[in-house]
Amino acid sequence: MLRPRIIPCLLVSNKGLVKTVNFKNPKYVGDPINAVRIFNEKESDELTILDIDASRLNKEPDYKSIEYWASECRMPLCYGGGIKTVEQAQRIFSLGVEKIALSSEAVRNPEIITQIAERVGRQSVVVVLDVKKKLFGGHELVTHNATKSAKQNPLDFAIQAVKLGAGEIVINSVDLDGTMKGYDLDLIRKFKSSISTPLTVLGGAGKLDDIESVIKEFGIIGASAGSLFVFKGVYRAVLINYPDPETKDSMVSRAMNY
């Protein structure tokens, strides 16, 4: 039976684990491999690792680090950052990664979605859309850590990405990143009603109730979070955490009315 997925999202900069607020001011919070090992113990559904420097600085993916993370990871791993070619994607898959995430390159060159999907299967191709509110209403699609506007409607691009072969769409709210104020439910509604492919939402989760609310309204969905699983308490002390299996199952059951 398909179930909602609860997915920690780790941001990596200069080989360190960092957290941002509104995609700005990355704060070092530790070693990524330690977080991977803790999420193994916590039996996380999946894990996403995004290198936030690679595309912005036009760098190759850090294959050595990716191999290290994948070798330690006992759950499905999605990696994103710096992927521009089918050959790069295939090399990353050969290191033990189950999914690759495309963002700025998918916007610049949408055909890369089809090229990789045809080679490895669409179920392994994730397109991450960084979405930001516009000054006078609506949303815009942004890239390169929200420093560039793609000048495209995010929902229109999501629909196009699915047609091109994306097996999953991630909606990442720039405005709520790191704020821990809750997900943008209105934004999620627009996407959930318009695309049939698996959808994951990221940006804003501050407590488990936020995840439960998303699952209760949207059912089979990926609920991803960074700060929620990295910080603890009002003072945002660094503590890698994830709900234990019993708590997670109970929360999902309540939300899905099992």
The domain segmentation of the chain, as residue ranges, is 5-256
The reply to whether CATH 3.20.20.70 applies to domain 5-256 is yes
Q: Which are the contacts of 40, defined by CB distance < 8 A and separation ≥ 6?
A: 72, 73, 74, 75
pLDDT for 77 equals: 98
Smallest CA-to-CA distance from 130 within 76, 81, 58, 197 is with 81
pLDDT for 137 equals: 87
For the question of whether the overall pTM of this predicted structure is more than 0.85, the answer is yes
pLDDT digits (tens, 9 = 90+) for 194-252: 998 999 999 999 999 999 999 999 999 999 999 999 998 877 899 999 999 999 999 99
From the list 45, 130, 184, 210, the catalytic residue is: 130
Tokens of 3: 């179930």
- 1: pLDDT strictly greater than 60: no
- Give the range among 62-71, 92-101, 122-131, 243-252 with minimum mean pLDDT: 243-252
Q: Which are the contacts of 104, defined by CB distance < 8 A and separation ≥ 6?
A: 55, 143, 144, 148
Give CA separation, 100 vs 85, 86, 118, 254, in Å. 12, 11, 14, 31
Q: What percent of the chain has pLDDT over 90?
A: 93
* Per-residue DSSP letter, 129: E
- 257: pLDDT strictly greater than 90: no
Q: Is 209 a catalytic residue?
A: no
Distance CA 39, CA 242 (A): 7
Distance CA 47, CA 32 (A): 11
